[in-house]
Structures are given as C-alpha cells and as structure tokens.
Amino acid sequence: MTNGWNDIANADVILAMGGNPAENHPVGFRWVMEAKRNRNAKLISVDPRFHRTAAVSDVYVPLRVGSDIAFLGGLIHYSLSKKRYNEEYVRHYTNAPLLIREGYSFNEADGVFSGWNAETKSYDKSSWNYELDGQGYAKIDEKMEHPRSVFQLMKHHYSRYTPEMVSKICGCSVAEFEKAAELITSTYTPDRAGTIMYALGWTHHSFSVQLIHAAAMLQLLLGNIGIAGGGLNALRGHANIQGGTDCGVAYHNVAGYIAMPKSDQTSLKQFLTAVTPKPLRPNSMNFWSNTDRFFVSQLKAYYGKTATAANEFGYQWHPKIPQAGTGYENWSWGFLFDAMYAGKMEGFLNFGMNPVSNGPNSKKAIAALSQLKWMVVAENFDQETSSFFKPEILATIDKKPADVQTEVFLLPAANFAEKDGTFTNSSRWIQWKWKAVDPPGLAKPDHEIIARLFLRIRELYQKDGGKFPDPIVNLNWWYSNPVEPSLDEVCKEINGWDLTTGNQLEKFLDCKADGTTLSGNWLYIGMYTGAGNLTQRRVNTDPTGLGRYPNWSFNWPANRRIMYNRCSADSKGKPWDAKRPTIAWNGEKWTGDVPDYKPDSAPEQGMGPFIMLPEGVARFFVPGQFVEGPFSEHYEPAESAVVNPLHPKTSSNPLVRRFSTPHDKLGEAKDYPIVCTTYRLTEHFHYWTKNNPYNMEIQPEFFIEIPEELAKDKGIANAQMVRITSARGSIEGKAMVTKRIKPLDINGQRVYQIGFPIHWGFLGRGSQKGSLANLVTPTILDPNSFAPEYKGFLVRLEKV
Amino acid sequence: MAGSTLELKRISAVSTAPPGVRETTVVSKYIDTTSCIGCKACEVACQQWNDLPPEVTVQFGTYQTLPDMTPSFWNLIRFEETEVDGAQAWLMRKDQCMHCADPGCLAACPAPSAIVQYVNGIVDFNQEHCIGCGYCMTGCPFNVPKLNKTTSKVYKCTLCVDRVSVGLEPACIKACPTGCLQFGSKPQMLHLAEQRVARLKENGFANAMVYDPPGVGGTGVVTVVAHGDRLASYGLPRDPSIPLAVTLWKKPLKWLGNLGMIAGVVVAGLHYLKFGSKPEPEAKEPEK
Amino acid sequence: MNATRRDFLRIGAAGAAALGFDLAPARAEARALKIARTTETRSTCPYCSVSCGVIVHTAGDKARNAKPFVVHVEGDPDHPINQGSLCSKGIALKNNIVNDRRLTKVLYRAPGTDKFEERTWDWAIDRIAHLFKETRDRTFREKDSQGRTINALTSIGVIGGCTDANEINYLMSKTFRAGLGVVPIEQQSRI
C-alpha cells in the first residue's frame, strides 16, 4: 500500500476493484466503513460478482472477468476528455510534459506498439523512451502541448476507450460506467481524496502489471497519489507476504528490491553499474544512486569479516542468474515447477507452503513433485503437497505411490504464536509479536530448522570438503545461540550496524559502500536503532487525528506513513487540502509525516517528488520497463470467450508466458463456453483453516456460484452437485444458484460467468472430497510479474 | 451483579431504596445491518467465547451457515439475495436473542429461576433450573430459544453475561470488524441508531428505520435497517408481541395463585404416593 | 400414568412455580469469566496482511511449574488497525493453535511407499543435510557456458515465508541463497 489501512478513513471516494476487501480483508475494510460513516464517503465496487463488498457499496458496476484495463482506460479517457484532472499535479509531479522519441507509436488496428516483430513475437523497445538532450536528460514541454509529449500521447492512446467501448468490452451499461466515472473522477479537486483498493483480482491476470499501471495512471491524473485518503493500495494476501517480498524471497531480487546479480555481471563494479540508474532530469534525487551502499552492506551482513574490498565483498560467492539465450534463466514459480516437471530439479524445501493447492494447475504440480528425489516440508498441518504421494492425490495424474520415488520429510513446525519476530503488513508496518506458548510435541520453529540444517551441511563441508564450500564456511553465523538464532539478534542484523563504532544504523545513508557497515536489508534501516527495537513500539496515540500513529511499531521506509507524500502539497509546498495535510514546507524544512523527499529541499528548488525514479516524476508512459508496452492496453485473458473488440488481430497479451507440457493445454470457447474465475472466502484462509473446526462449521464445503439464468438453461437446482471441466481437469461441487452474477452482453454476445472459492482439497476436517480448485486453472503467466492467470479461464458446466 | 448473584432491586418490608444498591444501566446491542458484511466474526466469536461445540453443517446453496439457530449456535447471520427498486441487494442481519424488555420466554417459563432478567436488561437462561418443557420457545415472538434434545435444556444467547458483568463488552460486539455492532447503554444505542437512520435517509433510503419493537417493551438489540418496508427480508417480524396464551398464562390469571398452591401440594402428594421418598443415590436418570 | 421420576418432578415443579411457589431463590448464577487470571501475550494474526493485533490468553501466571496452554484468543483493543475486532478466522485462532491435527512428530516417507513413518529430528536433519550436499556437489554450476563464474545451484528449490517472520525470511535468503547458492527461491507473492 502506498498509504495504509487507517488512512482509508480519510477518503471521500473508495474504488474497490480487482479485490473484494470486505471478504478478504474484513478488518482492514473497517476503515472503509469509517469513511462511509464519518465522511459519508462513497464506495464503488466494480466486479463480476455482487459480493460482500458490493453488498455495502454505494455504486456497483458489473464487469466481465479480465476486462479491467478497458474500464480503467475508460476512466482515464473520461478524466482527460472532461478535463477532470489536477493539472498542476500532472504538470509538476508526472512525466506528462516529457517528450518521447520519434518512432514511438501504437498500431490501433493490430493492437501492438512500435518495435513489434511478428515473426519472433517480441519487441524492440528502443522507441519506447524519452527524447534526451545533450546531457542525457529527458526533453520537456511544460505546456504539455507537444504532440510527442507523454500527455498528448496518452490522450490519444486512450481516446479509443469511450464509454460505449467500455460497455462493449466490459458488459456494463454506458449509464453504469458514467455514474461510476463521475464519482471516481470527482476527486480531481484538491479538497477531495480518492483511493483504490485492489488485490489478487488484478494481479492474477496475464496483464496484471499493466492493469495496476492503468490504475496508477488514473490516480496520478486525479492527483490522488501521496495524499491522505488517496493512494493505490495493494491489499497483500498473507501476514508477511510484504515482508517476504521486502526481504528478497524471490528469485529475481535480493533483499531491499536490488536485482539479483546476473551471469554477465562478472564483477561487483559491473553489477553496480548495471543496476544503478542514472538521473533522467536535472532535478531528480535518484535515490537508487546509493545502491552500492545498500548492496555492499548486504554482502557484509552475509559474509561478515571475510567480505573485503579485495574479494569484492564476497560478490563472487553470491550466486548469479545464469544466461539463457539473449536473456536470463527464469526461476519464478511457474518456471520452477516446469523445470521440476521436466526432471531438472532434485531437491525441494518448502517452509509452510502448499504448491499442489495454491499454485496453478495442481496436476502439473503433483506430476512435478513426483520427479523429485527428495522434498522437505516444514508445516503446522499435513497438507496436499507433503502428502502428494498418497493414492488419492496421485490418482489425479493416474499414478500410484509405488511409481513415485521421492523421499519426503514432513517436519512439525511452530506456528505464529509459538515464536516471536516481526511481520510486515500491507501498511508496511514492521510489527514485533511475542511468543505465547511452546510448540506442541516435537515441533520446532522454522529458524531452528533452517539453522540446524545449515549447520549440519556446513559441518559436512568442513569435514569432507565438496563443491565450492567458500560461501558456506564463510557465512556470517554470529548468533549467540547458533542452533536457534535469537530473532532479536537477526532483527538487529537486518537493520545493521556500523562496524567501526558498533552503533546500529539510524538512517539509510548511514550505510556505506566501503565495507564499514553491515545491513541485511537497507529498506528496514531505522527499525532497530540505538533507541532499541522500534518494531516493538506500542504507542497508539494519533496526534494528527488522521490515523498516522507515528510511534506505533516501525513503518518502512524511514517510518514514513504515506509514500510519495511530497505530492500532498502543491508546487509551493502548501498542502492541497489544509484539512488533511501530510507534509508542508515551513520555510526551512518539511514538517508533518516523514517526508518522502530531501527534508530541507525548498519547493522552489523544484526537486522531483518521486525520489526513487530517475526522472524524479511519476510515469504515465513507462520507458522500457514493461515488456508489452509503455501504456496499458486492454488484452483478453489467454482463454477468452470473446475476441478483443479493440483489435481482434491481437486479442490477448502477445507476450503472455505459457508452457508446453501435456498439462498446459488451453481450451477454446467452442468447447468451454463459460468464463470462470476463482476467489477466496472470508470464512477461510487459503488451505489452512480447513483444519479449523469453527471455520469448517461456517463454510463446510466447496461450491460453485452459478447465475440463475445459466442454472435454468442447464436445469441445475440450488445445492445440486455439478461438474466443471477445463482443458486441464475437472472438479465437482454443489451449485449455489445466485442472482449475484448476471449474464453479460459483450459486443452482442451473451457471456455467462461462474466462479468458485479455493480453500478445500484432500486433507483437512470434514468432507474434502478432493475439491481442489486449481485442478482446473492454467499456468498462464503475466510476462512481467510471472503471476498466474487464476482469474479468467474457460470451462464447461454440467450436472453430475 | 459481579460475581454470581443479582443486584437487589427491592427488599421486603423496607419502603425506601435499599442501602448499597448500585446504579445499573440497561445495556443494549446495536446492529447496523447497512454496514454488515456478513463476515461471521460474530458467529465464531460467540462459539469460541462460549466454548460451543462446532455444528456439523452442509452447504445448502447459500452463504448462510445454518437455516436457523441451534442449541449450540446462538448467533446466526441471515443472508437474503434480493432486488430493491431494480437494484441488486444482499441483505444480512445478525440474528440472536433480542433481550426483550418484556420477555415472552420468561413470561412463559414455568420453571423457577430458569429464566431471569437482570436489572441491566439481559435475559438469561439458567440451564440447571430448566426443565426442558419448551414453553419459552412458544413465548418467544422471535423464535430464538432452542431445545437440546439430549440434555433437555433450552439455550440461547446470554448477551455474554459473564463478560458484561465484569465490565467487558459481549464477544460478538468486540469482534465485529466493520463496527456495525456496538454495545452500550440503551439510550446511547438508540441515539446511534437514530443518527444512522438520518444519514441513510439523507442518502436516499426513505424507508430506513430503527427496529425496537414496542410490543415486547423494546429490545436489548437496537437494529437499523435500510428497507423498513421489507422487514421480512431481514427475518424480522413487524409487530412482535408476547403470544396471547402466554399473557393469559402469567398475568390475568395470577390471582389463581392460591389455587395453584393447592394444586402444587396435591402434585407433591401424588409424587410421594407414586415414587416414595427419594432413593439415595439416585439411579441413572432415564432420558426421554 | 406412565411417568418417570424426572417427568413427574418436572410437572410438579412447573405447576407449583407457575402458580406462585418458588422452589429456589431467585438468583442467577452467571459463569465465571474464563480469562480472569490468564496471562496475556501480544501477537499478530498470521492470516491476511491487515495484521490485526491479537491477545493470546494462556493458563498460568508464568510460574516455573505451570505449563502454559492457550485458553482463548481475542483482538487487541490497543492495536490501531483492528482496535479489538477480528474476522471469523482471527477469532478462531485458538483452534488453529490448539488443534488435534497439528503435526507433533517428525515424519518420513520412504520412496515408493504410501505412508509416513516416525523418525527423530537428528536422523532427519542428518539425512536431509547429506541429500542436500550430495545434490549440490553433483549439480552445482560454477561457470556458465561462456566460462563466467556464476556459482549457482538450480537443482534445489526453496519456497516459503509468507507467514513466517521477516527474520526467518532473511535467514532463509541468507543460508540458502548467499550460503548454499540456491537461485530458485520463491514465495507466495509470485502467485
């Protein structure tokens, strides 16, 4: 979240789209209800289903699964064509006035951007960039009138997204769209704030990154980024999924969002040159210019005293992503399981994850696991992955336990209440929790399992030698209790300290590139300073009355509660809205929230407000970063019941990532005519609470939500057993015949949509019956984030 | 009320207020159905706090947990899919004991001390005195009390009397994520409800209303509904009152007490004649 | 009249009470508060990213001879986000912690079999360490095809961490990536 849960109470308009916050984040949703109660804020719910959020919304708009970019494009067009945007904000805080190179274009008939090579199905992205001056800075037209200014290009690009076109693609009526558009764009005035809450309904698409890009564009036009009650708020799914992302648990980056070293970055210097951006405007702070400090301090945390300037601080010990063709090997989830399926992996360690259930295409995952030599699962409960070798689960891929040679270790792990440590929530608050009880039986906390395993492996390397033992024996294992490192000590290390003085680092730039400081994750600097472990702070006073709670836990970055908050004030430094100030210039420095800016840089110096971007301003046009275009464009899901009305020739995302195993089949609308989506219920958490008797009591069985009209067509009665089948597999469950999903008219074609929640499977309490939702979902990936398209695929439906 | 006994309200043969009587406020729940998201936190909070065994449920084509409350499920959100003025609506209302000021269950109950009303308004069942006759179920205009056929006792929401009596809010209220549930004094809750209804009317809900039916003397649950013209969609009776039979049973016929005393003696005598004195120890109690 | 003792008493009592007799004093016995003297520990709900503050109530006052067990879990009213409230999952956390399905033993599935067998921690850690080392030593990629140093291990994957503390996520990256050279490290955020 750019803002935070509490801040939603400051909004005047809340758009819940690509998510169902009342269902999935009910307690966070309390702040929506506060805004409604106290400010008479308006909640707009845009979703294929009339769900729990829609039930308490002021405006509900139905739309077809996967048509969200068209809807947002329509809002962008509405804002631009009706001059409902904050012009001063757009001029000063975004790249709207910057000029784009000649040669950039979008082919409206074909639905592709300039540089498309139809044969190789790839882009030459060189035209998707700024026109630079002699000093390497982007050229600018402050009036935003130049035909190649981002503003004019954007206006032109979205001119196709008229209310009529939105209706044609999304299936809502023009009137429904316009009612929502009027309300959403009403926040372009300085005295109104609008927020967007989204979740997996946006990220689970083959165009998910571009979808969020479109939402960011809208919020920037309306001047809603950086202000109280505004922002673009990703409602993260799990207790510490934010922290896991921050701490580098992803193949493509290390902690603090620093890219993983690659095979052609053969020296530390080469690596740092490649990953450190150069400023693209003279007034850009370009904070990533400090990458060397952050990365060297991280290497020092990993390799301790053995990391020296002479050995590039251990850079060569750290793994690099191998080259593959013109790019690099991809080890993201979908690719990892594809490699495992192909027998390219031998071992697999799994801490509290259940990929058979929570990954796409369960059958492929089961088949992949059966190729492994060994697998370790540390868990609270037995689950579909740890027990994938059981006959009933292997039966889904027509195998028997005797066919599978995988050795499986199921290690009993402590749960949240049985260990301490910090979770980072969606508001980016890093909060300490305290251990309440010992784990049951022989269960152990994960850090002890990791430490014991690591120490045993290290012992073997020390004793017997082996391949490249250097990073193993040199790893900085300084903990007082090596077999069960104190999480307080680890927390200290993540923040880091000065190796000369021994003092904890207080702020980002305290860390150095010369090896005299150590910091496991620069982004978390400030959480454990000389003042102690600030993640344990529990001061719940709110002096501003705006829900900031500055002394509650620690809020990365730098205890800043609202990101990009320089934008909350106008170009003179005066808050856009005096009633909801975030920061203000007092003549000497910025006051209020911790400024996302150089604290003493006067407004007249005109420093760009987006300090992490080399332009210093936000990007409507994203130069070169995304693979399928610098502006978001509506593409259909990989499996779609309709052809893209904008450009039938390029109907779905041309760069979508897919695989070619027999499990990776895609279906066509003639065989699988119904659009299907998956989601979660408020009564359950993933595949975890199927072990909890009370959660099973309030939502006992897998079910499929079916529109009344479709049920009537098929002669399906409420609560009757039905089967849905996709090109990947089939699943049975009870029908829930409902008025809450309406058939839609898409470009003259009637489209039925159905959906079902995930949550059940093979193991758990009560009757699970193998109702595993992902038996039918495809491994189709977004080409930027590599997230699977769980939302929007094709099925057929029949009575059992 | 702290501890295990009731506050004294009156004392025999003393005409002035009894010394040491503490001021007691009539408490109430507030349910704003217009901000309920049907998350069922209140359902589980109730189960969890009261250590009620989980029911074995089945999916019956709705988000609603059970068709009705049960002896071990005292707090049920009722879901109704409907259309209001052509627009989709999904109405949700937390259902539980209404804690009537004039409780029909208590009026109907023949077992001494089995149903009590505390001075703070909470209507509570004491299962150790309950005889399982089910009269309370007849007396309740909201169809709340539920008989457990195994134990022959009737159960319902206690308004978390154990929590309230030590100064805590009820478990369901505390859990509610959206704040659609509140707890406080009855006047406070009525005030909140009136404010909310005014806001709803301002937002175009002309039939918004506070549900606090006078037929049962008002309830210890103040409910706000957006569509007061369609109370049935929320599972609320329009004008609930204590059934006539129950009223007759307890009130106008009170003078029959003398006769009752005689009847009681006769019954006791018959009992002695049939079973003799109570054997010690009593054999395993036969179940119905 | 085929009445049992209980039926008979019931009828008698009802008759007497209905008509004015009281057989028991009119007092109500409310249950004692089950968390009156429990130890309260502040924690964070492990489910979604709202991070509701929860209070875990355990029996015992932390005296050395008392083994705490969880009696109840309730929202933390001091927490600025949830302010005491919880959803239907958070409020059921007691039964997540105290649950007869919790794993309490180290389990092992031998190749080709259809069930788990019990093992000790020492055996399991030792066996996994040997398997890890054997796989690593055999498949470790010191150089890429162009002879450039990569020191990467791609035959072992590690996933996890979305409901583990930051410190554990950090230790996971540190040991498996920086120490052992694993490249395929992923977690829930991808999917």
Residue A268: list chain C partners with CB under 8 A. none
First to last CA, chain C: 71
CB within 8 Å: C32 and B4: yes
For residue A641, what pLDDT is reported?
95
Q: In a mutagenesis test of the A interface, which of C39, C50, C104 is the best target, namely the one with the most A β-carbons within 10 Å?
A: C50
Of the partner residues A37, A735, A738, the one whose CB lies closest to the CB of residue B81: A738
* A50 vs A389: CA distance, rounded Å: 39
Residue A682: list chain C partners with CB under 8 A. 87-89
With CA atoms as reference, the chain A residue closest to C49 would be: A239
Asked if the C-beta of A695 comes within 8 angstroms of chain B's C-beta atoms, the answer is yes
For residue C32, what pLDDT is reported?
87
Residue C72 pairs in a beta bridge with: C57
Q: Residue-wise over A636-671: b if at least 16 C-beta within 10 A, else e?
A: bbbbbbbbbbbbeebbbbbbbbbbeeebbeebebee
pLDDT in tens, B26-76: 999 999 999 999 999 999 999 999 999 999 999 999 999 999 999 999 999
Q: Is the ipTM of this complex over 0.90?
A: yes
Min Cα separation A54/chain B (Å): 9
For residue B22, what pLDDT is reported?
62
For residue A81, what pLDDT is reported?
98
Of the partner residues B6, B171, B271, the one whose CB lies closest to the CB of residue C8: B271
Q: Are A725 and A672 in contact (CB under 8 A)?
A: yes
Residue C135: list chain A partners with CB under 8 A. 346-347, 373-374
With CA atoms as reference, the chain B residue closest to C1 would be: B274
Q: Are A298 and A522 in contact (CB under 8 A)?
A: yes
R_g of chain B computed on alpha carbons = 21
Asked if the C-beta of C66 comes within 8 angstroms of chain A's C-beta atoms, the answer is no
Chains that touch A (3 or more CB pairs under 8 A): B, C
For residue B286, what pLDDT is reported?
41
CB within 8 Å: A471 and C88: no
Residue B4 has pLDDT above 60, yes or no: no
For residue C16, what pLDDT is reported?
41
* C155 vs C184: CA distance, rounded Å: 8
For residue C148, what pLDDT is reported?
96
Asked if the C-beta of C98 comes within 8 angstroms of chain B's C-beta atoms, the answer is no
With CA atoms as reference, the chain B residue closest to C5 would be: B275
Asked if the C-beta of B4 comes within 8 angstroms of chain C's C-beta atoms, the answer is yes
For residue B12, what pLDDT is reported?
62
* B162 vs A286: CA distance, rounded Å: 60
Q: Residue-wise over A583-595: b if at least 16 C-beta within 10 A, else e?
A: bbbeeeebebbbb
Which class for A179: exposed (0-12), middle (13-18), buried (19 or more C-beta within 10 A)? middle
Q: Which residues of chain A have pLDDT under 50?
A: none
* A350 vs A344: CA distance, rounded Å: 17
Residues 109-168 of C with CB under 8 A from A: 109-116, 121, 124-133, 135-137, 139-142, 144-146, 148-168
Of the partner residues A60, A694, A719, the one whose CB lies closest to the CB of residue B59: A719
Q: In a mutagenesis test of the C interface, which of A249, A335, A341, A519 is the best target, namely the one with the most C β-carbons within 10 Å?
A: A249
CB within 8 Å: A381 and C161: no
Residue B16 has pLDDT above 90, yes or no: no
User: Up-side HSE of residue C141: CA atoms within 13 Å toward CB?
Assistant: 19
Domains of chain A: 6-99+155-237 (3.40.228.10), 327-421+438-462 (3.40.50.740), 648-799 (2.40.40.20)
pLDDT in tens, B248-275: 766 555 555 545 555 555 555 555 555 5
CB within 8 Å: A698 and B44: yes
Q: Are B108 and B249 in contact (CB under 8 A)?
A: yes
* A382 vs C103: CA distance, rounded Å: 7
Residues 166-185 of B with CB under 8 A from C: 166, 168, 171, 174-177, 179
CB within 8 Å: A360 and C191: yes
CB within 8 Å: A251 and C142: no
Question: Strand, coil or helix: what is A286?
Answer: coil
pLDDT in tens, B193-229: 999 999 999 999 999 999 999 999 999 999 999 999 9
Residue A693: list chain B partners with CB under 8 A. 54
CB within 8 Å: C24 and B129: yes
Structural domain boundaries of chain B?
A: 23-256
Residue B281 has pLDDT above 50, yes or no: no
Q: Can you give the length of chain B in residues?
A: 288
Which of B22, B46, B42 is CA-nearest to residue B32? B42
Q: Where are the alpha helices (DSSP H) in chain C?
A: 5-18, 94-97, 121-139, 166-172
| Angle (deg, nearest 10), helices A268-275 and A291-303 | 140
Residue B163: list chain C partners with CB under 8 A. 33
Structural domain boundaries of chain C?
A: 39-97, 103-139, 140-191
Residues 62-91 of B with CB under 8 A from A: 62, 65, 81-83, 87-91
Provide the whole-model pTM: 0.94
The backbone torsions φ and ψ at residue A223, rounded to the nearest 5 degrees and listed phi first, read 70, 35
For residue B3, what pLDDT is reported?
37
- % of residues, chain A, pLDDT over 70: 100
**CATH architecture for segment(s) B23-256:** 2-Layer Sandwich (3.30)
Residues 130-189 of B with CB under 8 A from A: 177-180
Asked if the C-beta of C27 comes within 8 angstroms of chain B's C-beta atoms, the answer is yes
Residue B82: list chain A partners with CB under 8 A. 739
Of the partner residues B44, B61, B62, the one whose CB lies closest to the CB of residue A694: B44
Residues 81-110 of C with CB under 8 A from A: 81-83, 85-90, 92-93, 95-97, 99, 101-110
* B155 vs B158: CA distance, rounded Å: 9
Q: Are A615 and A138 in contact (CB under 8 A)?
A: yes
pLDDT in tens, C60-73: 999 999 999 999 99
Q: Are C19 and B259 in contact (CB under 8 A)?
A: yes
Q: Are A61 and A53 in contact (CB under 8 A)?
A: no
For residue A14, what pLDDT is reported?
98
For residue A66, what pLDDT is reported?
97
Residue B179: list chain A partners with CB under 8 A. 30, 33-34, 37
Residues 231-260 of B with CB under 8 A from C: 249-250, 254, 256-260
Asked if the C-beta of C66 comes within 8 angstroms of chain B's C-beta atoms, the answer is no
Q: Which CATH superfamily is domain C39-97 in?
A: ADC-like domains (2.20.25.90)
For residue B10, what pLDDT is reported?
53
Asked if the C-beta of B119 comes within 8 angstroms of chain C's C-beta atoms, the answer is no
For residue A766, what pLDDT is reported?
87
pLDDT in tens, A288-336: 999 999 999 999 999 999 999 999 999 999 999 999 988 999 999 999 9
Beta pairing class for C39-44 and C53-58: antiparallel
pLDDT in tens, B111-153: 999 999 999 999 999 999 999 999 999 999 999 999 999 999 9
Q: Which residues of chain C have pLDDT under 50?
A: 1-28
